[in-house]
Amino acid sequence: MIRNLKAHFVLFCLGICFQNLQAQFRFEPDVLGYPFEQLKINQGKDYEGEVSCTLVHYQEQTQNLPAVLYIHGFNDYFFQKEMAEKFHLHGIAFYALDFRKYGRSWQAHQKLNNIRDLAEYDADIDTALAIIKALGHGKILLLGHSTGGLIATLYAAKNQGSKKYDALACNSPFYDYNIGFFLKKLGVPILSAIGKNHPDKLFKAGIPAEYGESLYKGAHGEWEYNLSWKPHSPPDVNLGWIRAIHKGHKAVNKGLKFDKPVLVMRASKSIYEKEWSEKMFTGDAVLDVKDIAKGYKKMDAVKIELVFENAIHDLVLSKKATREKVYEDLFIWCEKYFLYNQ
């Protein structure tokens, strides 16, 4: 009887502590509605002024579960409600991070997506991981898509030996520019060099509008999201952004070492449609999958590569049969390399 009373008292105290932490962090209702909530995090100032990032949380779980931190890509933000639900159903607490100058974190005085060094995002990730740990999650999976996959890869490699995260998974990571040989070997390095002293000079981004049309419910897709935060044709990028990405690509190309398990997922092929067609649902229309495979091969890690037929660039937004296979294989990997890996 006394032992049971003690156990109930401990659980009661833990519940109070968790509620106090939530109050301390001031989570508020999210644009996606219940059960999502968000936390605005002030990150000081940079070359454009005040900056912040936003941590999104799927509330339907307890604080002692393992957790995932999802990191979005370029011209993107977190809106994939189905993905959060899948993680919840598999006993993994779900969090997502809208980086500074993206989505929920974008402010009127900022240029959307503007960055000069990918290391600027380290503070956003550090803060998000610290909050997730403080909320009681002992194990954390880093999951990055596209540019978020590149950023998460670089972050994980820089944080070897730390207890900030426990495994890394990448969904079509952006390991190189999907352009011709001469542009890649000559054009990008020249633009990168110019970007060192002229970081605000603009250059046209190269994501095809047809890719956005394949996603958006108002066009040919099945997903709803804010077109101001994720337009079909992204705004021109700064040369500072090109330089930051180029430096990240060079690091990947040299080969990175990891002391935690790594999963890299990608489509089986890339497609290059000049106008809309149903083929947009059969391959990666944004990146060259050969570049992803090359970056994977150069990793020094306990690693697994998963390749999916009829998958698009964001694997979890593929047609239902394909994305169900993506989730099935992802959670099989999680069982072995994340949830029960010591």
Contacts by residues 229-233 (CB-CB < 8 Å, ≥ 24 positions apart): 229/77, 229/102, 229/103, 229/104, 229/106, 230/75, 230/76, 230/77, 230/79, 230/103, 231/75, 233/205, 233/207, 233/209
**Alpha-carbon gap, residue 32 to 189, rounded angstroms:** 40
pLDDT of residue 51: 98
pLDDT of residue 4: 42
| 137: nearest Cα among 94, 96, 99, 80 | 94
CB environment 150-177: b (16+ within 10 A), e (fewer): bbbbbbbbebeeeebbbbbbbbbbbbbb
Collapsing DSSP to helix, strand or coil, 36 comes out as strand
Dihedral pair phi/psi, residue 54, rounded to 5°: -135, 125
Angle CA 165–171–172, to nearest 5:
135
pLDDT of residue 236: 94
pLDDT of residue 12: 36
**Alpha-carbon gap, residue 313 to 291, rounded angstroms:** 13
Threshold 0.85, pTM exceeds: yes
Dihedral pair phi/psi, residue 231, rounded to 5°: -70, 155
pLDDT tens-digit series, residues 285-316: 999 999 999 999 999 999 999 999 999 999 99
pLDDT band at 2 (very low <50, low <70, confident <90, very high): very low
pLDDT tens-digit series, residues 114-148: 999 999 999 999 999 999 999 999 999 999 999 99
- Judge whether 137 and 63 are in contact, CB under 8 Å: yes
Collapsing DSSP to helix, strand or coil, 142 comes out as strand
> Tokens representing 29?
């209702």
pLDDT of residue 64: 80
Collapsing DSSP to helix, strand or coil, 246 comes out as helix
Query: How is 86-141 classified by DSSP, letter by letter?
Result: HHHHTT-EEEEEE-TTSGGG--TTS-TT--S-GGGGHHHHHHHHHHHHHTT---EE
Helix%, strand%, coil% for the chain, nearest 5:
40, 20, 40
pLDDT tens-digit series, residues 156-187: 999 999 999 999 999 999 999 999 999 999 99
49 in the Ramachandran plot: left (φ > 0), alpha (ψ -120 to 50) or beta? left
pLDDT tens-digit series, residues 69-107: 999 999 999 999 999 999 999 999 999 999 999 999 999
The top-level CATH class assigned to 28-339 is alpha beta
Dihedral pair phi/psi, residue 94, rounded to 5°: -110, 130
**Alpha-carbon gap, residue 198 to 158, rounded angstroms:** 27
Q: What whole-number percentage of the chain has pLDDT above 90?
A: 87
Find the mean pLDDT for residues 230-251. Answer: 96
Asked if residue 244 has pLDDT above 90, the reply is yes
Query: Residue 35, preceding bond cis, omega within 30 degrees?
Result: yes
Q: What whole-number percentage of the chain has pLDDT above 70?
A: 92
- Mean pLDDT over all residues of the chain? 92
- CB count, 10 Å around CB of 108? 5
pLDDT of residue 61: 67
